[in-house]
Structure 1
Amino acid sequence: MQNIVILAGNLGLDPESRTTQGGTRITHFTLATSRPRYKDGKVVRDEKGRRVNDTEWHRITAFNGLGKTIQQYCEVGMKVLVRGRIHYTKWKDQQGVDRYGCEIIAETVDFLSRAKQTENDDAGQSDYDDDIPF
C-alpha cells in the first residue's frame, strides 16, 4: 500500500522556513484547494449562475533543498502542484488533552504559475501567462 497525495492549488501565505539545531531546513506553507459544492447530486450555483466552490486548506511541509527552492521562488497566491504523503501527528496540549494534526510532507512541488522574481532574475522575463485555470 502507498501513501500518496497530489494537490493543486494556491499558496495561502508566503512560505516560512526555519532550520533545526541539526541543520535540517523545514519550510511550511498553506495550500488552498477548491471543488464544486454539490446538493442532491447537482452542482450548486449562485444567483448569477456561477458555480459555488468549497475551499479546503492544507498544511504543507518541505525539507532541505525543496524547502529552500519554495522559500526562494514561491509567494502567496501562486499556483502549485504538490506531490507527497499525508502525515498525522498526535500530542498532548497544556491541559493534557490529546490533540491531532494532519500535514502533507511534500516530495515534489511543480510551479503552475510564474515564480516570483528574485534579485538574480532578469526583470525582462515577463512574457508568460499567469492565468492557468483550474
Structure 2
Amino acid sequence: MTNIAILVGRIARDPETRTTQGGTTVTTISLVTDRPARDKEGKTYKDENGYTAKDSEFHRVTCFNGLGQNVAKYCSKGQLVSLEGRIHYTQWNDQDGNKRYGCEILADKVDFLSRPNRSDNQDAPPIDED
C-alpha cells in the first residue's frame, strides 16, 4: 500500500513555525496549485485577459524538525516549491461537540524551485550566474 503526494505550487503565505513542548519544530505552509478551469461541457476556456482560466486549490502542508526549520528560514510567500509527502486525515470534536475533519500533507521533502521573494535577498546573485 502506498500513500504518496507530490505537489508543485507556490507558497500562499509566509511559513508559520512553532515548537512543541517536546522540542519538535513544526512549520506549516499553505501551497496553492492551479489547474485549467472547465465549463459545464468540460472544456477549458479563456478568461477576460485571453489566458486559460485556472481553478486554484490550497493545500495545508506540515514540515517537522530540520525540514521545518529550513522551510521557515528559506521560504516565503510566492516562492515556487516541489514537495513530496503523505496525505494525513484528522478528526476531532469542536467545543460544541460537532465532528470536524481535516486534511493535510505531511512533507518528507521540499525542493526550492525559485528564490524567496524577500527584500533581504535583493543583492543575491541570479540563480544561473557562473
TM-score scaled by structure 2?
0.89
Unaligned runs of 5+ in 1: 130-134
Query: For residues 115-130 of structure 1, what are the structure 2 equivalents within 5 Å?
Result: 115=116, 124-128=123-127
Aligned to 2:77: 76
- Measured after TM superposition, the shift of residue 115 of structure 1 is 3.8
Aligned to 2:68: 67
Contact 1:81 1:112 in 2 (8 A): yes
Write the deviation string for residues 78-132 of structure 1: whole angstroms up to 9, x where unpaired: 000010000000000011000000000000000010146698x8x7532237xxx
Sort the Cα spacing of 1:88 and 1:49 in 2 relative to 1 into closer, same or farther, 3 A.
same
Sort the Cα spacing of 1:117 and 1:47 in 2 relative to 1 into closer, same or farther, 3 A.
closer
Letter in 1 for 2:5: V
1:35 counterpart SS class: strand
Aligned to 2:24: 24
Sort the Cα spacing of 1:18 and 1:118 in 2 relative to 1 into closer, same or farther, 3 A.
farther
Aligned to 2:37: 37
Letter in 2 for 1:46: D
Give the Cα separation in 2 of the matches to 1:93 and 1:101: 12
Give the Cα separation in 2 of the matches to 1:110 and 1:28: 15
Write the deviation string for residues 1-45 of structure 1: whole angstroms up to 9, x where unpaired: 100000111111111111111111100110011100112232121
Give the Cα separation in 2 of the matches to 1:71 and 1:43: 36
1:109 counterpart SS class: strand
Contact 1:73 1:117 in 2 (8 A): no
Contact 2:76 2:118 in 1 (8 A): no
1:42 counterpart SS class: coil
Deviating 4+ runs (over 4 angstroms): 116-119
